[in-house]
Each structure stands twice: as structure tokens, then as C-alpha cells.
Structure 1
Amino acid sequence: MPVFTEIEDLRRLYQRRVPRMFYDYVDVGAWTGSTYRANRTDFERILFRQRVAQNIEARNLSTQMMGRPVSMPIALAPVGLLGMQHPDGEIHAARAANAAGVPFTLSTMSMCSIEDIAEATRAPFWFQLYTLRDEEFLDNVLERARRAGVTVLVLTLDLTIQGQRHKDLKNGMTAPPRLTLANIINIAQHPRWALGMLQTKRRSFGNIVGHARGVKSLDGLMEWTSRQFDQRLDWRRVEEIIRKWGGPVILKGINDPEDARRALDTGAQAMLVSNHGGRQLDGAPSTIRALPSIRRVVGPDYPLYLDSGIQSGQEALKAIASGANGVFIGRAFVYGLGAMGQKGVETSLSILRREMDITMALCGINDIKDFGPNCLWSDDLDNPTKAARN
């Protein structure tokens, strides 16, 4: 059994075990990938303060996210097509999140349905919604979410039109994959994945097929999906959807302080600073770069989360010290899922927990609630006189 010490170990195994089409779907950015890369590299510019002679034997990562106790300030982000990364992937990820004591967020574009997750986990979870044109489907899916015990709605604002991802276009990305000669050859090279897919009935979008009017097959689904993303979305529509839901809402896709200022007026209980993992607007700032200005706009007490680029516990802590109340992870847990199913997701969460715990200790901090800007190195510290005045 290999020893997994970092998320990169899981990524390498994931790349070997999943067909290229679905690996590329996750591990790609829009256009040149500059924002995708900046989401990681901008973390490197943030430095910790190493502190010594501090009593660190009573460390605690537990906190709350959206009023829910969590074992650490990490949630699993909504990721579409998890059931193509591993058979019944959403169920495996949800069970792993529950075992780790962190929230799981189901994507609208999942293979497993809302009802599948509720039945498989018997635990509350969160649901991500796109802003769609089909009002009947919207009302229906929100009611299904309520019945299934969904406690938080994550409303995605940054996918009213899809950014161009070169690899998806060249691979002819579909779910399930079309059986072209190239795809058949590639799938044959991944027999473990293929056998698992043959054994599951969940190979299409479970939240949509059979629930949206006229969508009973893959062809109907593709046609329906192509005209559903609502390019007319405005803040009035956002407020309307929030009222329809009637419960806690996180607005996902805020990456500009002016949008954050307007989002405060919607009544949403929290925001998720996100650029869709660099998969939408290439050339936009990384989320960790945008975070401080957004925190200044929303104030110190408003719940503010961050995703895009978090692939280590150290990056999670840097985001928290820079103003986030917690982080969402996407690729970091998908690598584990594609590599080893539920066990792989549990492994990824264990890696992140260990990295957070050790880093917090080396910064001389016992409790995650005390991990703030004072834990980061600043230029002021190079000037003892100025640092003393501050």
C-alpha cells in the first residue's frame, strides 16, 4: 500500500486510474490557464510567522460553518460529474465528508441524485444550484432539496455562460462518454474504472433526467442543458431565488469587491470567494488575491469562504489568516475520489487536517479561532521600530 503524504500523491494515482477525458475535465483551466495557475502560485507569496516557546499541546481545529459544528473549517465544494470520476462518486464523497465531520455540497450536475445522497448518508448536506431558465425545474429541484434534508443552498453566479476549456473541446467531453474509437481505446486502458461503471446504474445526470420536462435520455439532456444557463441573470433574479429557497444561502462566484458590496443587499447569509477554479474567466485575479478587499467590504463578522487553489492544509490556513472563515476544496478531494473512492476522499481530508494541525502548531497557535493575520509575515516585521508601533 503506498504512503500518501500530500495531495500530489493522490493526483498521480488519480491520473493513472481515470480516463483522460475526465482527468482533463477536473485538472484544467480556461484558455491559457493563467488564473488556474495563479490560484496556486499566489499562495506562495504569503509567508507564515514561525513562533517558538509556545504551549501547543491542546490544539483544536473544530469550528462552525453556516451554524454547523465542523471538525475543521473545510467543506467539499460542488463538483459536477463526480460519478464519472468514480462509480457513484457523489455517494462516496458524501460518506467521506460525514466521516470526517465536514460539509458535503452536491452539484446540480451530479450523477447521483439529491435523493440518492439522502438515502445513502441519512445526514444533512448542502446543495449547489445553477441559475437556470426552466422555472418549473427550479421550483421542483428546490422542493426536492427541502424534502431530502438539504440545509444550505449554494447558489452559483459565475456560470451563466461557459468559459472555454480547450481540453474539454478537444476530448469531446460528455457524460457518459461517447463511444468514439479514441474513447474506447482510452477506456480500455482503465479497466478498473470501466468495470465499476458497468456495475452502477448512475451514469447520467440524476438530478435532471426524469425530472426536467422532456428530458428522458442523453440527447434530450444535452439539448436541455445547452439552453438552460440563464444569461439574463441579474441581482433581482438572485434575490428571487433566495426568497424561493427560504433558507440559508451561500453566494458562490464572488471575486470582486463591488459584487460583494451588492451581494450584501440580497439577504444571503454568506459568500464564497471563487473564480470557478480558474475554469471561467482566464486572466481574473486569484481568489486569495481578491479575498482581502472583499473582506474589507463585507466587514469582519460576515461569513466569508474561499475556494479555488486549496490543495494543502497550509493554503487553507493562509486563506483563513487572510480573511476567510473557512475554505471549500474541489480538486483536492476529487483526486482522492478518482484514485480510491471513499477511502481516497478520506485520505485527502486526513492529509489536509494533518497539514493544518502541524502548521498551526509551528506558528504557536492552539485554536483555529486564533489563527489570523498575526500568523502571517509582513514587511512591517522587517522593521522592528515600525512593528513595535503597530
Structure 2
Amino acid sequence: MAKNKKEIRYHSQYPSIEDLRTKAEKRIPRFAFEYLDGGCNEDINLYKNTSDIRDVELLPYYLTAHTESNMKTELFGHIYDAPFGVAPVGLQGLMWPNSPEILAKAAFEHNIPFILSTVSTSSIERISELTEGRAWFQLYHPAETSVRDDILKRAEAAGCPVLVILCDVPTFGFRPRDIRNGLAMPPKMSVNNILQILGKPKWAYNTLLHGQPNFETLRPYMPKNLNLKQLGKFMDQTFSGRLNEERIKPIRDMWKGKLVLKGVANEADAEKAVGLGLDGIIVSNHGGRQLDAGESTIKPLTRIAKDYGNKIKVMMDSGLRSGPDIARTMASGAEFTFMGRSFMYGVAALGKQGGDHTISLLKTQLQQVMEQICCEDVKDFPKHLISKS
């Protein structure tokens, strides 16, 4: 079982996510860092996500009677130690070897949720083993029903309490950095990429130690000995990212646990999620990696939480980089938050200690905000929102 209370301890040299990002850039090959760090097209929405969150202001009540601030948060019948979790990230082992296992273990020890992506580099079964069946699983929708059903059976057998289905990848985002670096589909390894690897010996050594990153959850469905070009073709043929109500209904019928739709960006899709009997939604724009011309996440979150927060669990990811960002987002109506890049910066910067450090850092920052504004419970954050209207 997870410990009742994980000791909060972080490395004083890296007291911000930006510090971790700077360190990560120095530690991993440029193609891996740019895959992690970049958005799509001109990166406009990537930066808007964070800047618009930081336009939110909180009101402190200094003369209010205050005993203590409690970050514990109930979600889907489980009480987590903080109102944030680790978002699903594809190809995690490319950024830092063994990173999904590092993060899953740290999340479990800190009693926060970890979401494993279908296209991450550890299997459902391995992550379930590390988290005693507490990890969530995020499904990229397979083109073949048999593959979908088998993955769902594996997730159920592994004890995953929550299934997250993804709706914001009907097509792959146009990501200029990845195209230049050969990380589009099909991928390729250029001489330049090889030189970058040689310049990062710790990353190269750890990659040799843990093996070339692979889509471990998908291994049973992949032909053996695929080259990179064949791998790209396999991925294109295996997944059909465009979700609709008819594709969601059989998943709702099959999946007996909690079902969450990730990638919701407007009220119409939120209403459909409610109508389909889903348990939660994650307002998200895929970290600004899919649609550069869209809204930042905090804007639809505010509207969706107001209209549907009493009908379905409303959560958010994309753009959060600090404890104050978590506070701002929850004050705007989110019941829970998730971060992807922030945790990957931590692992890329600090290796095995990166997960524990980043979670401890965010907990410390969030606790400080709560105590500063005299917020005793995370449910009370909306009382501290300064309205712009």
C-alpha cells in the first residue's frame, strides 16, 4: 500500500519547473528535448496555455480565522494527497530512459494519480505492478475492435480504476521541430541525431542500460523486427484517433470502472460526455500540440465548469507549470489538474530522483499558496477567484 504521507523533500538547486526545464535541455539530446518541449505550428497556443492561466488572480483573506490548509482531494472514490496528477505522455522513454516507471512509482508513493499512455514505453502490466493497480490508463482508439477489446481487458485485469479516452487527436499535429528531427511518422534517425546522442553520455548510457524505447503496451499486436518505416506504417494503420458517440458507447458498455474523456475544448462536447454517462472530462488541448489556432485551456474550462460542474467531474491539463498554476486552475472551476511536461522535465533533469522532486516541489508551492490566501480546503479555491467581469 502507498504510505499514508510521503515526506515532502525537493532539491534546493531546482526550486521551479523552469529550473528543471533548463537542466533537462542540457541533459538530453536536442531531438528528444524538442519533442518534449514543442507545440505545433508556431507554438502560439503552447505559450497561451500558461500565460492565460497566469492572468487569473486570487484574493487573500488575511484576517480570516485559519487553522490549517489541506490538499487532500477526493476523486472517483479515492482520497489523493494533492489535487494534481501525472498526465499521459507518449514516448516517455525517449526523453529519459525508464521515465514512466520512475514517475509511476513516485506518483504511487505520493498518493497522486499517474496516467499511462497507450504509446508510452512501459506496459500496462508493469505500471500496474509498480502502483498496486492504482494507475489510470489512457487509450488511443484502435482501428480494429479486437485490439481495442483486448487492451481494455488487459487494463481491467491490471486493476486500472480509471480509463481515459482521447478525443483531441483526430489527426497528428503539424510539429515542425519533430519533422526536422525525423520524429514524425515514419521516424528516422539522422547523422545529426546520432551526434546529439554522442554529446549526452548519461542519456546514452541509461538508454543502453534500459534498452531502446518501444511501445511496450502495443508489443503483442506488433509484427516482430519492424524497421522505423514499418513502425510508422503500423501506427498509422493501428489507430483511428477520431472519436464520436458511436465509438464511445461500446467502450462505456465494456468498461466497468470510471470513464473519462480527455481533450474536451467546448461546451457541446462536454454535454455529449454527460449524455453518454461518462464520469469525468479533462479539458485539454493536448498541451498546445494539436491546434495552434484554438483557445487556451483555461478559457473553456471556466465556461464548462460553470455549466457542467454539477453533472460531471471537470478536470484540466495543458499549461500548468507550478503550484500557483494549480491554484489558479482550481479557482477557475477545475476539480483536479494534470501535468505532463513538468514531470518529464523533472525526470530528464534529475533521473531517478526527478519524480519525487517534482511532486514534492509542486506540493510545497501549492501548500504555500493555500496558507497565504487562507484557503483551508481545495474545494474553497473558487471563493478566492477575482472575477474579471
Q: TM-score category by the smaller chain?
A: over 0.9
Q: Deviations over 1:221-252 (max 9, x none)?
A: 32110123326532111122222223211100
Say whether residues 1:212 and 2:221 are aligned partners: yes
In the alignment, the residues of structure 1 paired with residue 212 and residue 125 of structure 2 have an alpha-carbon distance, to the nearest angstrom, of 12
Aligned counterparts, 1:1-390, within 5 A: 3-173=13-183, 178-201=188-211, 203-209=213-219, 211-212=220-221, 214=223, 216-219=225-228, 220-230=230-240, 233-372=243-382, 374-378=383-387
Cα offset, 1:174, TM superposition = 6.5
Aligned length: 378
Q: What's the Cα RMSD here? A: 1.9
CA distance in 2, matches of 1:128, 1:290: 22
Q: For the structure 1 residues 177 and 185, does the alpha-carbon distance in structure 2 shift closer, same or farther, using more than 3 Å as the test?
A: farther
Which moved further from structure 2: 232-241 or 189-198? 232-241
SS of residue matched to 2:66: coil
Relative to structure 1, the CA distance from residue 347 to residue 255 in structure 2 (aligned partners, 3 Å threshold; closer, same or farther) is same
Contact kept, 8 Å, 1:274 with 1:307, in 2: the verdict is yes
In the alignment, the residues of structure 2 paired with residue 128 and residue 223 of structure 1 have an alpha-carbon distance, to the nearest angstrom, of: 22
**TM-score, normalised with respect to structure 2:** 0.92
Instruction: Name the CA distance, whole Å, in 2 between partners of 1:50 and 1:215.
Output: 59
Measured in 1, the distance between the counterparts of 2:387 and 2:159 equals 44
Between the two proteins, what is the percent identity of the paired residues?
Answer: 34
CA shift in 2, pair 1:299/1:204, >3 Å: closer
1:85 alignment partner AA: M
Deviates more, 1:244-253 or 1:277-286: 244-253
- Distance in 2 (alpha carbons) for counterparts of 1:118 and 1:155: 18
Q: List runs of 5+ in structure 1 lacking aligned partners.
A: 381-390
How many Å apart are 1:359 and its aligned residue? 0.8
Distance 1:102 1:154 in 2: 16
Q: Are the structure 2 counterparts of residues 213 and 350 from structure 1 closer, same or farther at C-alpha, using a change threshold of 3 Å?
A: closer
Alpha-carbon distance in 1 for matches of 2:210, 2:19 = 27
Q: What is the CA deviation profile of residues 109-154 of structure 1, one whole-angstrom value per residue up to 9, with x for unaligned ones? A: 0111112212334342100001120222111111111111111101
List per-residue Cα deviations over 1:81-136 (Å, max 9, x = no partner).
11112211111010010111100000000111112212334342100001120222
Q: Distance in 2 between matches of 1:170 and 1:339?
A: 24
Q: 1:312 to 1:367 in 2, by over 3 A?
A: same
Conservation of the 8 A alpha-carbon contact between 1:155 and 1:249: yes
Take 2:158 and 2:185, find their aligned partners in 1: how far apart are those partners?
A: 25
Partner of 1:385: none
**Displacement, 1:54?**
2.9
Residue aligned with 1:131, SS? coil
Evaluate the alpha carbon distance shift between residue 379 and residue 243 of structure 1 in structure 2; reply closer, same or farther with a 3 A threshold: closer
Q: Which amino acid aligns with 2:173?
A: G
Whether the 8 Å CA contact 2:36–2:341 is kept in 1: the answer is: yes
Q: What is the CA–CA distance in structure 2 between the aligned matches of 1:342 and 1:249, rounded to whole Å?
A: 31
Taking the aligned partners of 2:185 and 2:355, their CA distance within structure 1 comes to 22
